[in-house]
């Protein structure tokens, strides 16, 4: 069975071009002494859900992204 496995839930500055099904590149920097890239997160993911939120002062997006999982590691 193949399905989209949710891997990352993020809130970002508003971007109206984000939509479900898009493939995005994810670069996550760590805030420890090495300040390198976090390689535990896949670098390419598919947007599963996106919520666009605009209030009086801000426009943000909540994005849930994942990767295709086919039952093998």
Blockwise average pLDDT, block size 10, the chain, 73 residues: 92 93 90 79 92 94 94 76
Q: Are 55 and 4 in contact (CB under 8 A)?
A: no
Domain encompassing residue 54 = 3-69
Task: Tokens for 61, please give them.
Answer: 């997006």
**What domain count does the chain have?**
1
Could you give the C-alpha distances from 68 to 9, 17, 38, 57, 71, in angstroms and in order?
16, 22, 20, 36, 9
DSSP annotation string for 27-58: --B--SSS--B-TTS-SEEEEEEEEEEE-SS-
pLDDT of residue 24: 94
């Amino acid at each position: 069975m193949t399905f989209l496995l949710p891997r990352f839930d993020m809130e970002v500055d508003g971007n109206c071009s984000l939509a479900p099904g898009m493939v995005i590149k994810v670069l996550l920097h760590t805030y420890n002494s090495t300040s390198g890239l976090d390689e535990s997160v896949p670098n390419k993911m598919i947007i599963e859900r996106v919520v666009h939120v605009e209030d009086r002062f801000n426009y943000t997006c909540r994005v849930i992204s994942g990767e295709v999982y086919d039952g093998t590691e």
